[in-house]
Amino acid sequence: MASNSTQYQGACICKSIHITLQGEPVKAMACHCIDCQKSAGGPYQTCAIYDTQNMTVDDPSNNLKKYVFPKETVGSGHEKHKFFCGACGTHLYNQPMKHNGEKSVIKTGFLDSADGPGVNLFEPMGELFTKDRASFVAPIQGAKQFERGF
């Protein structure tokens, strides 16, 4: 698999947690749901979905923290686990328990790139929860629009 030789890397704001992603994402999305807005402290989050086995988390200071969204509050009816740096607060990824942690929803804002902001690495191919889109944010050109989840 040729595309699997590609690697992407990123770190939290305090640089204590480094994450390496192997290969290209399964999907890249923007999500406008209220959980994403609150986590971002802004209008939406951008995400790249990876098989968890293709993600390596390097956390020598043991700063990785987890918050569990109770299943009653998640549309899928399964818990959603949110992982973030306990030292600087950077949101790193989610794991929907609908997939038993086998899929990771990478928050692309922490990715690093030599060519500018890492968030540019994966252009969203779809937008989720557009019903909650901020009134001042326009749809991303060419991205499929979903009123809720998939």
Binding residues vs Zn ion (CB under 5 A) = 12, 14, 16, 31, 33, 36, 85, 87-88
Question: Which CB, 53 or 61, lies closer to Zn ion?
Answer: 61
Report residue 38: phi and psi, to 5°.
Answer: -70, -40
Give the nearest distance from C-beta 13 to Zn ion in angstroms. 5
Question: Which CB, 2 or 34, lies closer to Zn ion?
Answer: 34
Q: Which two tokens stand for residue 71?
A: 């299943």
Give the nearest distance from C-beta 108 to Zn ion in angstroms. 13
* Whether 28 contacts 123, CB under 8 Å: yes
Question: Which CB, 21 or 45, lies closer to Zn ion?
Answer: 45
Give the nearest distance from C-beta 83 to Zn ion in angstroms. 12
Give the nearest distance from C-beta 31 to Zn ion in angstroms. 3
